[in-house]
Chain A
Amino acid sequence: QVQLQQSGPGLVEPSQTLSLTCVISGDNISSKTAAWHWIRQSPSRGLEWLGRTFYRSKWYKEYTESVRSRITISPDTSKNQFSLQLNSVTPEDTAVYFCARDNLGLSIPLDYWGQGSLVTVSS
């Protein structure tokens, strides 16, 4: 059974960097059939996919256009986890952030999700 456990600060000041971590159990971050995602949800924007990272002989990263200049998703193979960094945050980045796995190697999209982390951007 795959489990994703999120952690990170719940409050970030404007212009600072939002950082979250997702620890994976029951699967390997270097899986050649899975990918590892960050998604956020807010009342104003709904569910918004932010990006993903995956390993297929080398590491790949894909990001949505709206945050591409500010986002980094990084794998950590030594800890079997991945992280989200979002720079220069504004109150519009206030949302519940989720990590998730896809298993598109088996044609299955986002099948496991973290518990969600409410991040508030405020001074």
Chain B
Amino acid sequence: EIVLTQSPGTLSLSPGERATVSCRASQGINSRHLAWYQQKSGQAPRLLIYGASSRATGIPDRFSGSGSGTDFTLTISRLEPEDFAVYYCHQCCGSPTWPFGQGTKVEI
């Protein structure tokens, strides 16, 4: 069973700063199967990135994803006020459990 571990647990930043969230898999995964989601309080997660680096429809280009094998990264180049939320990595397919990371809170 693949486990996804995110770091850090909390990121304290200011608007305009750069945010970097890491996701490490317990074993190598196909980068086509790695996605990132944003979740705000009381809402469902929203797909940001799929295939490790492709932005979903309507996602601003300040969001980018990279990585391969066991190490993946979500970068927000310049934080906007609406970007303060919790971010999750996720492995879709190729696994019997479709695991999520534990989440990284980006706070002001």
Query: Which positions in A face B, CB cutoff 8 Å?
Result: 46-49, 62, 64-65, 98, 100, 102, 104, 107-111, 113-116
Contact = CB atoms under 8 A, between A and B. Distances in A.
Nearest to A106: B50
B44 A102 contact: no
B67 interface: no
Interface of B: 32-33, 35, 37, 43-47, 50-51, 56-57, 88, 90, 92-93, 96-100, 102-103
Given A107-B50, A109-B35, A102 B92 contact: yes
Main secondary structure of the interface of B (DSSP, over half): loop
Contact of A46 (B44, B57, B98, B103): B103
Nearest to B92: A109
A103 B6 CA distance: 25
Nearest to B43: A116
A109 B79 CA distance: 25
